[in-house]
Amino acid sequence: MKTKRINIYFITIVITLGGLLFGYDTGVINGTQFYFSKYFELTGAIKGFIVSSALLGALFGAAISGLLSKRIGRKNSLLIAAVLFAISAWGSGMPSMLPETTTLLVIFRILGGIGIGIASMNAPMYIAEIAPAKKRGTLVTFYQLAIVIGFFVVFLATYMIGNNLTEAQNIEYGWRQMFWSELIPAMAFLILLFFVPKSPRWLMMKGQEGEAKMILIQIHGQEIADKEFVEIQESIHKDSNSEKVSIFSKSMLSIIIIGTVLSALQQFTGINAVLYYGADIFEQALGFGQEDVLKQQILLATVNLIFTFIAMYAVDKFGRKPLLMIGGFGMLIGFLVMGFTLFFSDYSTINSAGIPSISQTEGIISLIGVLIFIGAFAMSMGPVVWVILSEIFPNKIRSVAMSIAVAAQWLANYFVSQTFPMIVESDANKLQVDGGVWNNALPYFLFSVFIVIIIVFVWKFIPETKGKTLEEMETLFVKENKN
């Protein structure tokens, strides 16, 4: 009987909707916080907590996602994430229909964050487990592309909603509609997940070899499926006959540390400081007036999207490590251009908001530095880190190890997001005419130091994984870490 084939790209697109919702749910807070802050008359501290509450949820979601994925599978974990996205989108706009309090808003934002944490671990891991080795890098980078598209789409959605209402209407109910707009992709994700198969590697670890073999044949065809089935079977059999696999064993712990450090370092590039606080950077540090901030945000999103496509083309053609190295030097150049421009500026210009700023020429040079950084990140640390995390961990510990690495990333995200405005407002970072030392450049020099650490770390500890099966990867990383 002829087996009905399942298109690998259809599966990938459905799963990467989890990435789109990751970007959408993270980005929607930027479009809404200006209005709900006025609605609730929030202090800066409370606003900051509401904005960052989803990150705390994501940290918790990532921490439990390993156990969840191992127990009920990758697909079922993503179904739970989809439900949480939908509940969060619906509930975040509900406070007016319930007692007026920000507590409910925080609760629903945390629920959305838990969904982000679960999806951010399971989606790239699922794609890696169903993808053929020669296409795995490209297919996993679809996940990062979806995150970038999610940011872009939510930016357009919140702009269109807000632009068609008066400021008073946006304060009263416009921000609720912005939150509710997430219901559309959330429900699409939930429904389409029922049309994708379970991970064959997870099924085989659960002893369901018949169903796993059928799915492999449906995805890859008989010849490739037979080869992968044997490799997975041998890997699981080897783990079963050896001593109990522990994440604390010497060989496993070293791999987990490498993956976790790389995952956390993705955030210490400063990417989310730029994405979350881009408007403040453009207005306060780069001298652009409020009327130009929207244009610069669109420019950032466009560069981010274009260079993510470049990564998708290059990751399986040139490999993971070369992209990380090239991107590392690109990010370093971008922030050094921006940092030195700010450091040597005299801030003699007053922008439209009455804030001392750099000259127009210096502002353009700094903007170019930011764009170089964004482009370099989008073709390297953005997508490639997700590819490597989905590849390097052995079958038996993959779900737990991924949850540790992704939780570390969210913890680093929260730390950077909370400390960036503190560093910006610190006495050392003040303008030199006001007694400061770094002239608004301190954050970018600090990020540059971390980028240098990333370059050295990748050069020393990350082997090339292009074209290898997940089972071949186990031998590769154990061998590399014995040397």
**Are 214 and 279 in a shared domain?**
no
Distance between CA atoms of residues 118 and 65, nearest Å: 5
**Are 45 and 57 in a shared domain?**
yes
In a domain, 469, yes or no: yes
Q: Is-contact 428 434, C-beta < 8 A?
A: no
**Are 95 and 223 in a shared domain?**
no
Sequence-ordered list of residues with C-beta below 8 angstroms from that of 211, at least 6 positions apart, any chain: 198, 200, 203
pLDDT in 10s for each residue of the chain, 483 residues:
455 677 889 999 999 999 999 889 877 877 787 788 788 887 666 776 787 788 889 989 988 988 899 899 999 999 999 999 999 999 988 755 555 578 888 899 999 999 999 998 899 889 988 888 778 888 888 888 898 899 888 878 887 888 788 878 888 888 899 999 999 999 999 999 999 999 888 898 888 889 989 988 888 888 888 888 888 887 777 655 555 556 666 767 888 999 999 999 999 999 988 877 666 676 655 655 544 555 666 788 789 889 998 998 888 888 889 999 999 999 999 999 999 998 998 887 776 656 777 887 888 898 899 999 999 999 999 989 988 888 888 777 777 888 899 889 989 988 888 788 788 888 999 888 888 899 989 999 999 999 999 999 999 998 887 766 666 666 665 555 555
State which amino acid sits at residue 249. Answer: S
**Are 87 and 106 in a shared domain?**
yes
**Are 367 and 290 in a shared domain?**
yes
Distance between CA atoms of residues 264 and 209, nearest Å: 36
Let me know if 112 is exposed, middle or buried by CB neighbors in 10 A (0-12, 13-18, 19+): buried
What phi and psi values does residue 430 have, to the nearest 5 degrees?
A: -60, 160
Sequence-ordered list of residues with C-beta below 8 angstroms from that of 157, at least 6 positions apart, any chain: 31, 178, 181
**Are 299 and 360 in a shared domain?**
yes
Sequence-ordered list of residues with C-beta below 8 angstroms from that of 52, at least 6 positions apart, any chain: 414, 417, 418
In a domain, 430, yes or no: yes
Q: Is-contact 251 481, C-beta < 8 A?
A: yes
**How many domains is the chain built from?**
3
Distance between CA atoms of residues 395 and 355, nearest Å: 55
In a domain, 201, yes or no: no
In a domain, 136, yes or no: yes
Helix, strand or coil, per DSSP, at residue 237: helix
Sequence-ordered list of residues with C-beta below 8 angstroms from that of 270, at least 6 positions apart, any chain: 335, 373, 416, 420, 443, 444, 447, 450
Give 8's Cβ-side CA count (13 Å radius).
Answer: 20
In a domain, 202, yes or no: no
- Residue-number span of the structural domain to which 108 is assigned: 1-196
**Are 140 and 114 in a shared domain?**
yes
**Are 374 and 408 in a shared domain?**
yes
- Taking CA atoms, 205 is separated from 130, 215, 217, 232, in Å, by 14, 14, 18, 9
**Are 289 and 222 in a shared domain?**
no
**Domain boundary at 135, 170, 196, which?**
196
**Are 268 and 211 in a shared domain?**
no
**Are 225 and 275 in a shared domain?**
no
CATH of the domain at 182: 1.20.1250.20
DSSP state of 425: T
**Are 281 and 332 in a shared domain?**
yes
In a domain, 148, yes or no: yes
Structure tokens belonging to residue 174: 């416009």
In a domain, 187, yes or no: yes
In a domain, 290, yes or no: yes
- Taking CA atoms, 252 is separated from 236, 261, 356, 430, in Å, by 15, 14, 53, 46
Distance between CA atoms of residues 279 and 158, nearest Å: 15
